[in-house]
Chains A and B, each alone.
Chain A
Amino acid sequence: MTHADPHNQPQKRPRRTPLAARGEPMVWLTGACLSVCLLMIAGLLAAVLVQGSVTFWQPRIHQFTVADGSVVMGVPVREEAYDAVGEELAAIHAARDAGALPDGSLHADGRPIRRLYRVGNREVYGEPFRWVSLYTIQNFETPARATLLERREWGVWVGMPQSVVREDLRPAPAEGEAFEAEGFATIEGEGGARRVERAVVQTPDGPRLRERVFIAEGPDAALSALQRLLPQALERWRRIHHLNQAAIGEINHELERERLRHREVELRHAEGRVTDAALGASLARRDARLAELREEYRHVEAEVAEIDREDARWRFVIVEPTHGRFAPVRQTEPDEFMRLSQIVRAVPANDLDLAGRLGVYFSRWGEFLGGQPREANTAGGVFPVIFCTVLLTILLSIVVVPLGVIAALYLREYAKQGLIVSAVRVAVNNLAGVPSIVYGVFGLGFFCYTLGRYIDAGPTVVWPKSNWLLGVVGLLVLTAGAVVAGFLARPVPGQPVARRARILAWSGGLLWLGAVALLVALFARSPFFHGFYRARLPSPTFGAKGLLWSALTLALLTLPVVIVATEEAISAVPRTLREGSYGCGASKWQTIQRIVLPRAAPGIMTGAILAMARGAGEVAPLMLVGAVKLAPELPFSSRFPFIHVERSFMHLGFHIYDVGFQSPDSEASRPLAWTTTLLLIVIIAVLNLTAISLRARLRRRFVTGAF
């Protein structure tokens, strides 16, 4: 190596590729990062999947005696080790030293283990869950026929079935007349004699002779009689429920409508728009109709009462082991057996084979997916919640996709690219970062309280009619001016933009702004509009939480996603395609409509998918503008127009929050929270997959076969 001519002879460097340059460390690093991300996501999904799917699995029912000698029967929920102190610790140590501790009742670290049991029977125990230290358990068994009753109210009942009873109320015997307190009777179609108990009881209608026929006695017989009679009881309950909900609901709806119709006439009368005679006629009509409806109501009521009388005959006796008490019809009547129709499902958990267990599992899933929530959302189904969530998501997409696409079209295709458009674009992107609760506040303030109230009651401040009409004329002038200015300011291709044209273009834009502002003002100050729902005031119709406002709020929230995605999709359409279209003599709009939009459709779909996923999972703004714990009237019904966008609704995301954190019985609802989460994830996944497959179909149309 010579140093004489360093310019011609570059110094030789040792040629060794360092490890970093080979890139392996980067592979490891990026791989590790990806693994961490995947692990966290997979962990979350696995937790949701496992916890969500075990909820409805029925474990066996345990029965045992605890230290104080009382018998406990319950379904194990979970176990944990805990720190025992004081006397308890001493007792455990003593028992351990004496070798009297049952196997597995201590953790490896020496701490005692306790197990949470779902014992149910809230009317008797107060607490439906109970911690039991394993070392205190004695006489452990899983008794056959032990049954878990899912009841419509008051949670589950765990106990041993005893009998199925038919009760009849007969006229009370005359004062002093003797009757047989016990006896036997034969029952049609049941073969053999049955024990009968008679007693005089007080009812609202005076004293009656109550006759209890024990149709089936003993756990086996009671269970099989229950299985036989339960379907009829459920059918009776369904009919009563239907009559109460649908028929009486219909009558109430008619009543309300009639009342509102007359109220509207009254309001118009007060404004002098309706004559006294018409008011009188309206009143007469209303009263006649109300009388009709009351008659109808009495009919339905009578029908309900009749079914209810039959329903009250069929009772079930199931006894809890601790105090030997049976399940009462309600807490205030502890001496009355529960009705059969109060049972949703009876699960003899220790007698089920795998098929039976699976049957219970899927029947619970069925109820969960297809049923109504019960007991403050801690049991029952989530069907209305699912339906509302899907409805909201669809509504939101219907609003946000056209809006976003049109906005993006203007930004990308029509607007002159420059400082203003860039500023708008930055602003739109920033909107995506605004906390979603802010959108909720905006939605509540603007949609519910401003727009909604306007729809309900009309403007609060109005212009005099003459001024308002003047405003309409002004609007026409402004619009015409804007159109003319825009027309005159059209750029001439091939010629430089004249100063005059630029001024015209700006003034045209300002005129448009003015026209829009005036239009809004004309609406907001119209003396001719009195609201669509003023008869219902002061109770709001649109002026409160509602599905429509939620959809609009979420649309606003997801608008940036759609705009950005659409802009990208539009600008990715090859220039050659546009030029080809223009070359064929297509106008700008024809090119957009026939070439650009179809070609950009997959990209737009991507934006819509992202928006939907974001919207479906959003909770915070919904708490302000629409979602409620339990909607009194769901936003869909069998009555025209079927979808009632002004009503508040239930939403899966909010439901998870409610069930998980706002529940009166957190232990009972915790598993449901997991399952609801699982459901929400599945629904979003299904919505996304549908959209993705749609997008794949669209994309296939643009794959070129050449090359």
Chain B
Amino acid sequence: MAVTRSTIKPMTTHSAPTPSVPPQGASVETGLESLAATGVQFTVIDAIRNNRPFTPAVHETILEQDAIVEVKDFSLHYGPSKALHNISMPVPRGKVTALIGPSGCGKSTLLRSVNRLNDLIDSVRVTGEILLEKSPVYAPNVDVIELRKHTGMVFQKSNPFPMSIFENVVYPLRIDGEKRKSVLKDACERALRGSALWEEVKDRLNESGLSLSGGQQQRLCIARAIAAEPEVLLMDEPCSALDPIATLRIEELINEISKRFTVLIVTHNMQQAARVSDYTAFMYLGRLVEYGPTAEIFQNPRLPETEQYVTGRFG
């Protein structure tokens, strides 16, 4: 049997890994077998794969930060299958935190748990808690609609609404019942400037949001997400459907936005995580594996698995 992946994958690859041989014991593709040959000991991943308890490597510097979102021993089931396993991690205020990990490891699920978008799926069950600004997100008396207004969200595939650019941006205000034209106009301009789209669209605010290019549509969605001045901005692979130039613009934009908002971003692209984020969390099979400042995660990770992953040797 030939070794299928002995070479180092280029770090920029976007494609999900496709194992040529099904891994034994685990249903999720990894490529770990190929690493067995390197002789390194993967204690954490072994523990995860054999369902043994382990301690994620969370760097102490993070715990010293003021956390805006705190995930505490949070687990989530989709019906019978468990997608998140006892995750605990704080998200520092005013910083960009990146979630990385192989496809299907639960990054999106975790992100969508913060604004309870998972509620839309009937089979979802959760245990543990998530705190936003110290108040529990999953308490029974929480107003989910109010909660979502405090957390803007940008999706993998840009999803402008079938309405004008202006209406797209002020949508969060509209559903709040805001009718004053001047307030809407101000909010629209501020959000569009915030998403670096203002100069391009200021003369065509009444055109359909769908008439924009792919990158512009995604920036429109970002404008919509920040229009209501949320406390946290959740971004789920915002660049994965864009070309490199549009991606670059969005990355610049994230840097810009992080001055005003806390950003929690899921990304598949290691370089992107390295470029835009202050902190990075590495997840694997629904568990948090390592979490620390981005520079440390990429240059000096504590676990060999993390090093292997960020250098693209597996995942």
Task: Tell me the A residues contacting B by CB distance below 8 Å.
Answer: 416, 491-496, 574, 576-587, 590, 594-595, 598-599, 701-707
Chain B residues numbered 217-264 whose CB sits less than 8 Å from any CB in chain A: 217, 221, 224-225, 228, 234
**CB distance B210 to A594 under 8 Å?**
no
B144 on the A face (CB < 8 A): yes
Known A493-B144, A594-B175; contact A706-B217, beta-carbon cutoff 8 A? yes
B140 on the A face (CB < 8 A): yes
Provide the residues of chain B in CB contact with A493, threshold 8 Å. Answer: 116, 118-119, 124, 144
Interface of A is mostly: loop
**CB distance A583 to B153 under 8 Å?**
yes
Q: How far apart sit A416 and B138, CA to CA, in the bound complex (Å)?
A: 23
| Residue of A with least CB distance to B208 | A701
Provide the residues of chain A in CB contact with B126, threshold 8 Å. Answer: 494-495
Known: A583-B152, A585-B146, A704-B211. 5 other contacts (CB 8 A): A576-B159, A582-B120, A583-B153, A585-B228, A705-B211
Chain B residues numbered 103-126 whose CB sits less than 8 Å from any CB in chain A: 115-120, 122, 124-126
Interface size on B, residues (CB 8 A): 46
- Nearest-neighbour CB distance to chain B for A188, whole angstroms, equals 72
Provide the residues of chain B in CB contact with A581, threshold 8 Å. Answer: 161, 171
Contact with A along B140-156 (1 / 0, CB 8 A): 10001111110111010
Q: How far apart sit A586 and B224, CA to CA, in the bound complex (Å)?
A: 13
Q: How far apart sit A706 and B213, CA to CA, in the bound complex (Å)?
A: 4
Provide the residues of chain A in CB contact with B228, threshold 8 Å. Answer: 584-585
B157 on the A face (CB < 8 A): yes
Q: How far apart sit A599 and B160, CA to CA, in the bound complex (Å)?
A: 12
Q: How far apart sit A604 and B102, CA to CA, in the bound complex (Å)?
A: 41
- Nearest-neighbour CB distance to chain A for B114, whole angstroms, equals 11
Which of A495, A583, A594 interacts with B115 by CB under 8 Å? A583
| Residue of B with least CB distance to A593 | B175
**CB distance B214 to A494 under 8 Å?**
no
**CB distance B159 to A494 under 8 Å?**
no
| Residue of A with least CB distance to B213 | A706
- Nearest-neighbour CB distance to chain A for B117, whole angstroms, equals 6
**CB distance A703 to B159 under 8 Å?**
no
Provide the residues of chain A in CB contact with B116, threshold 8 Å. Answer: 493-494
- Nearest-neighbour CB distance to chain A for B124, whole angstroms, equals 6
- Nearest-neighbour CB distance to chain A for B240, whole angstroms, equals 13
Q: How far apart sit A578 and B148, CA to CA, in the bound complex (Å)?
A: 14
**CB distance A702 to B210 under 8 Å?**
yes
- Nearest-neighbour CB distance to chain B for A370, whole angstroms, equals 43
Q: How far apart sit A586 and B144, CA to CA, in the bound complex (Å)?
A: 10
Q: How far apart sit A599 and B159, CA to CA, in the bound complex (Å)?
A: 13
Q: Can you list 18 residue pairs at the A/B interface with Cβ under 8 Å? A: A492-B140, A494-B124, A494-B125, A574-B159, A579-B120, A580-B224, A583-B152, A583-B234, A585-B148, A585-B149, A586-B175, A587-B145, A598-B162, A702-B208, A703-B210, A705-B208, A705-B212, A707-B214
**CB distance A705 to B213 under 8 Å?**
yes
**CB distance B155 to A496 under 8 Å?**
no
**CB distance B224 to A584 under 8 Å?**
yes
- The 5 tightest CB contacts between A and B, nearest first, are A493-B119, A583-B153, A585-B149, A705-B211, A494-B126
| Residue of A with least CB distance to B124 | A494
Q: How far apart sit A580 and B220, CA to CA, in the bound complex (Å)?
A: 12
| Residue of B with least CB distance to A706 | B214
**CB distance A579 to B155 under 8 Å?**
yes
Q: How far apart sit A701 and B160, CA to CA, in the bound complex (Å)?
A: 12
Q: How far apart sit A701 and B162, CA to CA, in the bound complex (Å)?
A: 7
- Nearest-neighbour CB distance to chain A for B169, whole angstroms, equals 11
**CB distance B140 to A580 under 8 Å?**
no
| Residue of A with least CB distance to B120 | A582
Known A494-B124, A705-B212, A707-B214; contact A582-B148, beta-carbon cutoff 8 A? yes
| Residue of A with least CB distance to B144 | A493
Provide the residues of chain B in CB contact with A583, threshold 8 Å. Answer: 115, 117, 148, 151-153, 155, 225, 234
Q: How far apart sit A704 and B119, CA to CA, in the bound complex (Å)?
A: 29
**CB distance A584 to B148 under 8 Å?**
yes
**CB distance B148 to A494 under 8 Å?**
no
Q: How far apart sit A586 and B158, CA to CA, in the bound complex (Å)?
A: 18
**CB distance B171 to A584 under 8 Å?**
yes
Q: How far apart sit A582 and B119, CA to CA, in the bound complex (Å)?
A: 10
Provide the residues of chain A in CB contact with B224, threshold 8 Å. Answer: 580, 584
Provide the residues of chain B in CB contact with A704, threshold 8 Å. Answer: 210-211, 217
Q: How far apart sit A340 and B212, CA to CA, in the bound complex (Å)?
A: 71
- Nearest-neighbour CB distance to chain A for B282, whole angstroms, equals 25
| Residue of B with least CB distance to A495 | B125
- Greatest chain A CB density within 10 A among B162, B213, B228 is at B162
Provide the residues of chain A in CB contact with B212, threshold 8 Å. Answer: 705-706
- Nearest-neighbour CB distance to chain B for A191, whole angstroms, equals 74
**CB distance A590 to B210 under 8 Å?**
no
Q: How far apart sit A582 and B172, CA to CA, in the bound complex (Å)?
A: 10
Provide the residues of chain B in CB contact with A579, threshold 8 Å. Answer: 117, 120, 153, 155, 159
B16 on the A face (CB < 8 A): no
Known A494-B118, A705-B213; contact A599-B144, beta-carbon cutoff 8 A? no
| Residue of A with least CB distance to B214 | A706
Q: How far apart sit A704 and B125, CA to CA, in the bound complex (Å)?
A: 36
Q: How far apart sit A707 and B157, CA to CA, in the bound complex (Å)?
A: 13
- Nearest-neighbour CB distance to chain A for B250, whole angstroms, equals 14
